[in-house]
Amino acid sequence: MYQIPKFHPKKMAKRRRKLRSLIAQKAAECDEKTSSKIPIFIGCVLLIGLIVAVYLSNISTSMIWSDFLTTYRNQYNLIVHGEKDYCLPSIDREKLFSEIRKKVLNQETALSGIELQLRNDSKFVAIAVTGASGVGKSLFVQEFRSNYPWQENIQTESWSTYNIEDHKKQIETFTRHFSECGRNLIIIDNLEPKDVDFIQGYNRFLHENVLKQDSVSLAIVYVFNIVTYTDEQRANYTDNLQLLMQLENVRIIEFRKFNSNDVSECIRHEARHLNLTLDDGDFDEISKLIDANRSGCKNVYSKVLMYGKRRNL
């Protein structure tokens, strides 16, 4: 006799789940094939639209490509640097010099002169920073470099009169590494007035090279030290300063000489910076050890470290 098969709810449920899974898998495969075609379809439409736009208008493909690259660079700079106009060569002078003035003391005239030169949006700006020892030139360069908006554009060289051939090679290296984004910065340090003739040709080469490149701008800072350790050197100070005036296309910025009042302010500033205290006796002792005419504030830092006492927290 024929027997009716027994009904197993669990087996039926399992079969239904398997069936639903197969249906869902097939549907997903169809959706995947369809979705993979969508970007291709959109890309084709955009490409056709671009070709039609170029054909129907007088706009060249190079112009459209240039606009695309400009938009791309702006978006890249916005993401990476936080500024859409990062590559514009204009410098936020107020922000830059507010940081410099926190460290460089009593040289407001010199700093204002440099700031004024950087207002110049011409392709080539050359500044010669000069003055006696210990008046803030090296500190200015350090802070200027640290706060410069295009860090990747900075190139430096420490000058040596005995190494002229290497300097000629170095200048060619500088020009090969110029960037079209922002303003390039070259700092030439350790110069003396006797180096003027070499720097004249150096500066002329850079000036001409920058003018040849449409999208390149350059600021160069020459740092000249007029030594004043001896009476003879101090007597020749003005003559050495006049020697620098021979430089063409270079703005000469003199950091003024310091006096005893400037040294006193330097001592207080360094003590605050180092979080040290000085009693009146130690302060007077340091003041006596520093010769403002000879070395400005150059030795203040080491003397404050020697005499200062750690503040109580």
- Other beta carbons less than 10 A from residue 81's beta carbon: 15
pLDDT < 50 positions in the chain: 2, 4, 7
Length, in residues, of the chain: 313
- Of the options 3.10.450.50, 3.20.20.70, 3.40.50.300, 1.10.1060.10, the CATH number for the domain spanning 93-255: 3.40.50.300
- Ordered by start, the domain boundaries in the chain are 33-86, 93-255, 260-310
CA 59/CA 51 separation, integer angstroms: 11
> DSSP per residue over the chain, as a string?
---PPPP-HHHHHHHHHHHHHHHHHHHHHHHHHHHHHHHHHHHHHHHHHHHHHHHHSS--HHHHHHHHHHHHHHHHHHHHTS-TTTTS----HHHHHHHHHTTS-S-HHHHHHHHHHHT--SSEEEEEEEESTTSSHHHHHHHHHHT-S-GGGEEEEE--GGGHHHHHHHHHHHHHT--SSS-EEEEEEEE-GGGHHHHHHHHHHHHHHHHH-TT--EEEEEEEE---SSHHHHHTHHHHHHHHTT-TT-EEEEEPPP-HHHHHHHHHHHHHHTTEE--HHHHHHHHHH--HHHHTTTTHHHHHHHH-EEPP-
pLDDT, position 242? 93
Q: How far apart are CA 224 and CA 294, in angstroms?
A: 16
Residue-level pLDDT at 312? 64
What pLDDT does residue 154 have? Answer: 97
Q: Which tokens hold the place of 151?
A: 């860090």
Q: What is the pLDDT of residue 11?
A: 58
